[in-house]
């Protein structure tokens, strides 16, 4: 399993709109992507930062999404975030939710 972590700085007082855009626009788009497994979004208690962690079946699926649909997601969120989101990629070592363990 593969993960993408997207770090974002939120505009002031935009948490409700950010959450609405995720639910209404971003999650339906993600669910249509080949290899998409899950999305976990975290918002700091002060409402200034958010992190989105998307889980994918394999690296190639995440890369295809990054090249194809991610620019649309960035455009959807542009009204509620400041600056450019920072994207990092990871191999998933374990997940209790997905019952995974790192390969020995």
Domain span at residue 34 reads 2-91
- The answer to the question of residue 50 being in a domain is yes
- The answer to the question of residue 8 being in a domain is yes
Ordered strands of the 81-91 beta sheet: 36-43, 49-56, 2-10, 81-91
CB neighbours of 56 closer than 8 A, spacing ≥ 6? 1, 2, 3, 4, 35, 36, 37, 62, 65
Give the CATH number for residue 16: 3.30.70.100
- The answer to the question of residue 37 being in a domain is yes
Q: Specify the pTM.
A: 0.88
Q: Determine the length of the chain.
A: 104
- The answer to the question of residue 102 being in a domain is no
How many structural domains does the chain have? Answer: 1
30-88 pLDDT, tens per residue? Answer: 999 999 999 999 999 999 999 999 999 999 999 999 999 999 999 999 999 999 999 99
- The answer to the question of residue 98 being in a domain is no
97 vs 99: CA distance, rounded Å: 6
């Amino acid at each position: 399993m593969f993960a993408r972590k997207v770090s974002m700085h939120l505009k002031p007082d935009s948490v409700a709109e950010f959450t609405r855009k995720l639910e209404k626009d971003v999650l339906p788009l993600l669910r249509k992507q080949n290899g998409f497994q899950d999305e976990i979004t975290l918002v700091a208690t002060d409402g200034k930062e958010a992190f989105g962690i998307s889980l994918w079946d394999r690296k190639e699926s995440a890369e295809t999404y990054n090249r194809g649909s991610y620019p649309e997601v960035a455009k959807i969120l542009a009204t509620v975030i400041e600056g450019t989101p920072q994207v990092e990629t990871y191999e998933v070592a374990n997940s209790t939710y997905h019952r995974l363990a790192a390969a020995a």
